[in-house]
Amino acid sequence: MKSMPGKRLPLSALSLVILALFFALASSCSRGQLSTAHYYLCIGIANYPAGSLDYPAADAESMSQLLADEGWQAPPGAGSEGGVLLNEKATKSAIAHAVQTFFAGAETDSTVLVYFSGHGAYDASTGSSCLVPYDFNGDSSDGITPEEMYDWFEDIPTKNIIFISDSCYSGNFVYCTDSSDTIPSSYVDSTGNTIFTLPYYVLSNFGSLMAKNAAADGKPAPIAISAAGATEEAYDGDPSQGHGVFTYYLLQAAESGDSNGDGFVSCTEAYTYIAGCIEDYWNAENEGDDTMFYPHISDGMRDLVLFM
């Protein structure tokens, strides 16, 4: 994530069309049922020794408060830490310990959410990226790679896992190798920016998606939502927002993202709301430059309730 003031613009007709298209898709998808319990871990790092950000700690605190208000609980193994790790408490080892052990007592039908807000790092020579913990010293082994995070998820006893990252280069955490309904982490246009094409991309593959969804077996991959593409930076908002641009709209989605009016906001509904807002309020203002960015989502044919 990078610090840069954001400006708000009117909602465009394009976004409304995209929302309508996505609603048609979402209404045909299978939605995960409400489980017996919902557990969250919110990680926010603003005060990095090597370079601070404005809002990630506030992002994590606001997200955890919203989730608690929505009926989510701190993980059963969290103890005094609760469901929040901030700044110096969010070292790589502390994050690994929290993800691997805090949810150990979770029910097999529960839902687990891990949220991260902070820096991301990208290695152009390898095309790899990582989340940046508090104790990151610049070496790739200091970061949290997608492979490491997903290995840690294997220790969680439920298949209902949601991972949300508000960080630069987080698109690499959105896997597309096992599911053709995933929006690729680097789905780019001629300028090199990833593009907001989710409904069109998914609807064009709808038949194969339904067949693949019906044939799926084993433990499904987590649903991942990233703030930006694999090679894109995400940005802090302005002081009136008080949050990262992505998280600002994620928090709004709890109240405004219920596109089908059923009283719940699913991951795909929240994603669609966020993506539409970023398209209209940020990218329209920064069209054609390298500060444009778009969120990404995986596993769209499998949905879970995010806000209740």
Report pLDDT digits (tens) over 251-269. Answer: 999 999 998 898 999 998 9
Q: Which residue has the higher pLDDT, 8 or 231?
A: 231
Percent of the chain whose pLDDT exceeds 70: 73
Residue 273 domain-assigned?
Answer: yes
Residue 4 domain-assigned?
Answer: no
Residue 177 domain-assigned?
Answer: yes
β-partners of residue 268 are none
Interval 155-166 mean pLDDT: 94
Residue 6 domain-assigned?
Answer: no
Residue 118 domain-assigned?
Answer: yes
- Cβ contacts of residue 135 below 8 Å, gap of 6+? 91, 92, 142
pTM (2 d.p.): 0.80
Residue 32 domain-assigned?
Answer: yes
- Residue found under tokens 């997608």: 146
Interval 127-142 mean pLDDT: 89
Interval 68-84 mean pLDDT: 92
Residue 176 domain-assigned?
Answer: yes
Report pLDDT digits (tens) over 277-287. Answer: 998 988 888 88
pLDDT at residue 299, as a whole number: 55
pLDDT at residue 191, as a whole number: 42
Residue 63 above 70 pLDDT? yes
Report pLDDT digits (tens) over 19-49. Answer: 444 444 444 344 444 447 999 999 999 999 9
Interval 297-308 mean pLDDT: 78
DSSP letter string over 61-90?
Answer: HHHHHHHHHTT-B--TT-GGGTTEEEGGG-
In the predicted model, what is the mean pLDDT of the chain?
Answer: 78
Owning domain of residue 284: 13-307
Q: Strand 111-117 and strand 38-44: pairing?
A: parallel
Residue 8 domain-assigned?
Answer: no
Provide the domain count of the chain.
1
Q: What's the CATH code of the domain at 227?
A: 3.40.50.1460
